[in-house]
């Protein structure tokens, strides 16, 4: 069987280009001062999860416990580099004090940029980007002050107490 070089060279070039495109980000964490999980082409750091060798719950525990003494480590979600924050104080700083610097997020349930999107999740604060995010955050922030949260907690407790008693009573009746 004879293979013509006119076909072999373009095919090998195409395969190399695809491989390069898939793996070009794999060295993202090599020059960063944080540890990172191993990378598999296409699967990133989640190969065991993608091939169903572990459950999502076990995988989350596994990656969380991989680097117990570091505050931040790196991993890959398919081909995208991701920073995993383990330190509660750093999470608090990112989530509260530095929240304005983390405006845009990856879309999980659809993009908020699509004007025709009617998905409930595409309208949430996490799905919004740029100015839409800033406007919504300015609208929502007054609702989450300490005193308002205490009022909401008291209201939720007041409303849920009869329901909780009914559920406990039903569970006792069932045995």
Asked whether residue 1 carries a pLDDT value surpassing 70, the answer given is no
In this structure, what DSSP letter does residue 100 have?
G
Report which of 104, 103, 61 is spatially closest to residue 84, judged by C-alpha positions.
61
Q: What percent of the chain shows pLDDT beyond 90?
A: 11
Distances in Å between the alpha carbon of 51 and those of 26, 43, 63, 106? 20, 9, 16, 23
- Over residues 123-138, mean pLDDT: 80
User: Would you state the pLDDT for residue 147?
Assistant: 87
- Alpha carbons 75 and 73: distance in angstroms, whole number: 7
- If pLDDT is split at 50, 70 and 90, which confidence band does 112 have? low
């Amino acid at each position: 069987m004879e293979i013509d070089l006119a076909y072999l060279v373009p095919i090998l070039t195409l395969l190399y280009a695809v491989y390069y495109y898939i793996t070009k980000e794999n060295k993202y964490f090599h020059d960063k001062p944080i540890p990172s999980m191993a990378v598999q082409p296409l699967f990133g750091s989640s190969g065991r999860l993608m091939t169903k060798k572990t459950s999502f719950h076990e995988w989350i525990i596994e990656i969380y416990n991989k680097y117990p003494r570091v505050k931040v480590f790196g991993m890959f979600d398919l081909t995208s580099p991701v920073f995993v924050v383990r330190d509660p104080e750093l999470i608090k700083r990112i989530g509260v004090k530095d929240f304005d610097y983390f405006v845009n997020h990856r879309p999980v349930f659809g993009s908020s940029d699509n004007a025709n999107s009617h998905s409930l999740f595409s309208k949430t604060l996490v799905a919004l980007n740029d100015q839409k995010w800033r406007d919504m955050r300015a609208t929502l922030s007054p609702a989450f002050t300490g005193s308002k949260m205490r009022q909401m907690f008291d209201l939720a407790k007041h409303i849920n107490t009869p329901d909780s008693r009914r559920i406990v009573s039903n569970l006792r009746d069932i045995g």
